[in-house]
């Protein structure tokens, strides 16, 4: 199953709506409060999905545009009048030091993470801000996740901090929003009877569903939100 198929699947869309990830609009609103983009500032939503956060950035007066790999999600975002284009976050079609803000919500873990962070660092102006939310792990799991999803390449927070520093970022704020992840999981259970039921509905495969539940139990996923500024390596 390809990543975009997983996020486009009806069990995921029915539970998550236009924000294709745990935390929903509540987490994006918190991100907007912290990042507080200036009117007229140039902002990228990296892995914009259906464009829900592009709307929030535009309400703040930012000149916002989105990049994503999925043609279907880009059509949805474009249909709402957002400026979007297809690109891999690990190879941004943007000039150096051109952006004030990069927002990336549950897309980083799906990419070539080191290259993507290096690209965010390259395209931000000195002092420019990265607002990043994604899954992290609180447990240990050896071996790969059975599915390509935002849990698969998640690491512990210490590793995230080291990767940020390695790409030239200084952290301003880190917040733990794991309760929002638990709320999303509870919604999946409510709709499908259990997490196994949810994964079974998404994948149509008993073995994959069992493997996803086991992987989740071992890795103990959490949800972080961080803001960081780039000052060069
Ligand atoms: C979990 S969804 C989150 C979408 C959106 N940020 C949101 O909050 O609703 C992850 C998104 O990242 C996109 N994506 C995955 N890998 C990508 C890559 N290498 N380059 C660009 N987009 C990518 C997917 O197509 C999907 O839209």
Cα dist. 32→16, 25, 177, 180, 225 in Å?
A: 19, 10, 15, 17, 11
Domain count, the chain: 1
Q: What is the residue whose two structure tokens read 């990069």?
A: 102
Among 17, 43, 49, 94, which residue has the most ligand 1 atoms within 8 Å of its CB, making it the best to mutate?
Answer: 49
HSE, side-chain direction, 13 A CA sphere, residue 174: 14
Pick the range with the lowest mean pLDDT from 1-15, 60-74, 100-114: 1-15
Cα 49 to middle of ligand 1, angstroms:
5
> Would you say residue 40 has pLDDT above 70?
yes
Q: How far is the CA of 159 from the centre of ligand 1 (A)?
A: 21
Task: State the CATH number of the domain containing residue 35.
Answer: 3.40.50.150
Q: 20: which DSSP letter?
A: -
Strands 221-230, 124-137: pairing is: antiparallel
Mean pLDDT computed over every residue of the chain: 93
At residue 187, the pLDDT reads: 92
Flag whether 143 is in a domain: no
Reported as a pLDDT band with limits 50, 70 and 90, residue 105 is: very high
Instruction: Give the range of the structural domain holding residue 168, as residue numbers without chain letter.
Output: 3-135+155-177+222-230
50 within domain boundaries: yes
Give the global pTM: 0.95
Residue 95 in any domain: the answer is yes
Q: What is the whole-number distance in angstroms between the Cα of residue 68 and the centre of ligand 1?
A: 6
Residue 217 domain-assigned (yes or no): no
| pLDDT mean over 151-172 | 95
Q: What pLDDT, on the 0 to 100 scale, is given for residue 14?
A: 86
């Amino acid at each position: 199953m390809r990543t975009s198929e997983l996020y486009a699947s009806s069990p995921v869309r029915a539970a998550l709506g236009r924000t294709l990830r745990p935390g929903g609009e509540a987490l994006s609103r918190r991100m907007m409060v912290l990042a507080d983009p200036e009117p007229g500032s140039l902002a990228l939503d990296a892995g914009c999905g259906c464009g829900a956060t592009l709307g929030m950035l535009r309400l703040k007066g930012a000149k916002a545009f989105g990049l994503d790999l999925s043609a279907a999600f880009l059509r949805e975002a474009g249909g709402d009048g957002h400026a979007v284009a297809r690109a891999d976050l690990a190879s941004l079609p943007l000039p150096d030091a051109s952006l004030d803000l990069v927002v990336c919500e549950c897309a980083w873990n799906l990419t070539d993470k080191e290259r993507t962070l290096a690209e965010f660092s390259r395209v931000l102006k000195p002092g420019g801000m990265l607002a990043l939310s994604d899954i992290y792990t609180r447990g240990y799991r050896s071996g790969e996740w059975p599915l390509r999803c935002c849990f698969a390449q998640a690491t512990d927070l210490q590793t995230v901090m080291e990767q940020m520093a390695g790409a030239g970022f200084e952290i301003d704020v880190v917040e733990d929003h794991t309760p929002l992840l638990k709320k999303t999981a509870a919604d999946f259970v409510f709709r499908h009877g259990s997490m196994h039921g949810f994964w079974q509905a998404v994948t149509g495969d008993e073995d994959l569903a069992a493997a996803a539940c086991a992987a989740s139990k071992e890795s103990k996923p959490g949800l972080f939100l961080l803001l960081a500024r780039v000052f060069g390596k």
